[in-house]
Amino acid sequence: MNRLYAAKYTDLNDPMEGFYLFSGIRNTNIISEAVFSEKQTTKIVSLSRNYTNPLMWAHYANGHRGVAIGVEVDSTCYRCIDMNYINDLYLVENAQVKPPFEIVEEVFSNKHQIWAYEEEVRVLTNFISPYVNVIVKKVILGKSMTEEDVDFISKLIKKINEEIEIIKMDDSDFMY
C-alpha cells in the first residue's frame, strides 16, 4: 500500500493556518476549547488538482527539478475537500449548533486567496495513524530534471510498479 504523511495544521506552510473568527455567539471559550482540541487531532494531506502550474513547480519541486506524484484517494475512508479561497479570516457562524469536527472542517476548508494558485484539495483524517492510504497513478518529472535523474527515477518507478504512468514536463505543458 502507498501512503502519504498527514501533518498537523501547525506544520503547514501558511502561518495563518487554522485561524478563524466567531460571529455573535455565547460561550465562546467553551466552543473555542472544543474546536482547539479537535484541531489537535485532525491531520491534513495537501494535494493540488493542477500539476501544470509553474509556481507550484518553482515553490514545491526544487525549481522544476523535482517530481509531482499523481494519486487517488479513497474518499469512502477519508474526507476530501476542495479549498475555498477568501479575503480574510474564516468567519464561523452558528458555532453553538455545530459539532467541533464540523467547525474544524470548515476552518481547514478555507484559506486566504493568495494561496489560490495551488488549487488545493485536502484530505482530513482523525485516524491514529499519521498516514493516508493512496494509489499512485502517475509520477510527473520536472522540466529541469537532469537526464541522469530522469533515467534513474523512471527505472525505479517501473521496477516498483509498471502501471504507474511517467510524464516528463516541458515548457509546452505549463499554463501561463
Q: What is the pTM of this model?
A: 0.88
- The confidence score (pLDDT) of residue 93 equals 86
Tally of domains within the chain: 1
| DSSP 8-state secondary structure symbol assigned to residue 10 | G
Per DSSP, the residues of 107-174 read: HTTEEEGGGGGG-EEEEEE-SSSSEEEEEEEEEEE-TT--HHHHHHHHHHHHHH-TTSEEEE--GGGS
Which domain range does residue 167 map to?
2-173
pLDDT tens column, 128-148: 899 999 999 999 999 999 999
